[in-house]
Amino acid sequence: MPEWVRRRLTPWLLWAATMGGVAWLWGQEAASDAVGFVARVEYAVAPPVAGRLAALEVVAGQAVEAGQVLGRLDAAEIDAELAILAAERARLDAAIAAAEIGARGREASTSRELDASLSSAEISLKSAQARRKSKSSELAALSGQAARLRELVDLRMADRSQLDALQVRQAALRSEIEAAESLISQLVGEVASARGRRESLSPETTDQVSAPERAEVAVLDRRQELLEARRADLVLRAPSAGTIVSIHLRPGEVVAAGSPVLTLVGAGEPRVQVCLRERQADRVRVGEGVRLHPRGGGEALSGRVVALEPQVAPLPQRCLRDPRTPEWGREVTVGITEGRPLLAGEAFDVAFTGEVVNAGELPNLAAADQASASPLLTAIDRSAARPTPHASDEAREVAMEVPAELGERSRIEPSGLLWWPPLDRYLVVSDDTGHPGRDDHAPWIFTVDRDGRFDPEPLVLQGIEEVSDLEAIARGPGESIYVLASQSRSRKGKRPTARQIFAQVELRGRAGEVKGWVALAELLDAAPAIREGLGLPSSAALDVEGMSACAEGGLLIGVKEPLAARGEAMIWRLAEPARLLAGEGLEAAGLALWGTVPLRVSADGAPAAGGIAELLELEDGALLIAATASGGDPSEQSGSLWLADGRARLAVPRHLRDFPGRKPEGLARAPDGGLVVVFDTGVEAPRWMELPWPAP
């Protein structure tokens, strides 16, 4: 080739090669210039208060369950304060007992005095009446004798002096009778007065004679709750299922508030965090297929985009091509649909296929993963396979129909319901039954047809005298159901046995026979170790309102109050209810903390922490949760409905809808497969709402 041709052609060839390289690089960036790495959630487990680490109950590398005790801070100081409170409580209990004994003694003494006064007055009255009767009889006899003697005197057959003597005696008797009648009138008044004093005797009540001491006891109870809550803060628990990866402090060392004691890596399916460059930010969509090529070599893995960050932001250092040069981009969360297990921190070159992968091929992200990815939660929810109802769906709230004859017999405040196919009816439990002074707390549950009409006759629970504040009902084995009272104290601070009922009822038609029952709150108070393991330092504020049959076996119990240390609602699992009802105790029955769930509602116009008003486990293992305000007594509140896709996702429940101005108290599957919600409306007519499920 001539020199002049080479000189002219070479620059063009170089330009063409450069442009081709740029085009190739552009294509590579568009297709595969993305970096990803496996990420798992790490938890730094730290106490909220300072103290000395007393014990560690785990070692590095140990697998743990959510809620498991990992370690404890020294509680000697709090235990000493609790001991002082216990001694003070014992003193006040003794003072209250002494006051009660004194009141009963004074009452007995006064009663004896009044009884003696009444008895004396009645004896005097009867004596005076007897004397009057005797004198009256004697006067009648003398009067007859005087009449006969007068006839003889008139015939001059008798001496007149004899008649005069009889007449004098008659006058004396009449005077005595008049005096007796006057005395009787006076004694009748005295008897009436004595009887009135006796009947009006008002015994001194315990509350009256020991009011100051009881006020002090109430203060001690609140102080005890505070100390027990502080003591609970000294127990380190696993925030999620996972593995202990490192321990930073040893027993005996001092821990500052918020200072990590150990680090936990959450369990569950790992995710791949992918970094897109800024120019690639809008080229990926949720559901798109992904190929991940290990940087260390090996077989590529398949995945799917499950979430996109909602904005372009500075990329993490791991994604930077030059650690000294900041870059902007968008983070993408990828779930693995097929391939080998992943190693935390493993890096990949990522290529997006452009095709949408079936959502059912992707395993659920673990709760621990989701908890650390709150910006991604909305995208995850929108892309989930399960259809969910929203406020715009065809929900229908209606008033339930209560027959007049049933309304005359009982209050109706629905707090839980269950569809019962043998009767083609819903079974409904009510906070209260009967009316004050008439069938109050009668052991009844109610039946309701498909259209929300109550039957006139309640279903009577044979084998138990009364129930109070029934809050939940769940399906049991065979033809039986479980019913559960709130376990809470009344407004007067009382917790009678009727408010502690947990019972199994065998149903035969419209007849219900209680097969066994226990007072649950009493059992909790008698087992402090189990109670503490449930996240319950004290039962003073306990209020349980939710219960559902559990796919794992047994029952799930939802706690409305108190909340867990971080403001989450607690769910317990009773693994073997039959053993509890057989008298084998809480430990044998397997009562344990199953999980916690963060819930929010609106109370008096402001956001508030929610407690569990009802639970309903669905056929696929998902858990529906109705929430109302926990603690306090707001004048107005709006409850809410939440969905957790199984136990692993309790940490990030989906908010389905709010119920403005309503308190959802019961959830049930309808016979047509929909969902029914009942509301606590107080003195108003009970109401319910029918929701389509799944959403159309």
pLDDT in tens, 574-583: 999 999 999 9
Measured distance CA(305)–CA(318) in Å, rounded: 20
Assigned CATH topology for domain 33-74+234-385: OB fold (Dihydrolipoamide Acetyltransferase, E2P) (2.40.50)
Measured distance CA(507)–CA(447) in Å, rounded: 13
Partners of 277 in the β-ladder: 329
Residue 268 is predicted with a pLDDT of 61
Judge whether 434 and 441 are in contact, CB under 8 Å.
yes
Please state, in angstroms and as integers, the Cα–Cα distance from residue 563 to each residue in 314, 358, 541, 544, 657, following that order: 38, 39, 10, 11, 22
> Which parts of the chain register pLDDT below 50?
22, 24-32, 359-393, 695-696
Residue 6 is predicted with a pLDDT of 60
Residue 419 is predicted with a pLDDT of 95
Measured distance CA(252)–CA(54) in Å, rounded: 6
Residue 1 is predicted with a pLDDT of 54
Please state, in angstroms and as integers, the Cα–Cα distance from residue 136 to each residue in 221, 283, 332, 394, following that order: 72, 124, 116, 93
3-state helix/strand/coil string of 404-447: HHHHHHCCCCEEEEEEEHHHCEEEEEECCCCECCECCCCCEEEE
Q: Which amino acid is located at 408 in the chain?
A: E
Query: Among residues 361, 431, 379, which one has the least CA distance to residue 686?
Result: 431
Phi, psi for 390 (deg, rounded to 5):
-135, 170
Residue 366 is predicted with a pLDDT of 36
Measured distance CA(273)–CA(642) in Å, rounded: 28
What is the layout of strands, in order, in the sheet containing 555-561?
543-549, 555-561, 569-574, 591-597
Measured distance CA(425)–CA(446) in Å, rounded: 10
CATH node for 396-691: 2.120.10
Q: How many CB atoms lie within 10 A of CB 141?
A: 11
Tokens of 384: 């989930």
Judge whether 267 and 40 are in contact, CB under 8 Å.
no
Q: Domain spans of the chain?
A: 33-74+234-385, 82-223, 396-691
Q: How many CB atoms lie within 10 A of CB 121?
A: 20
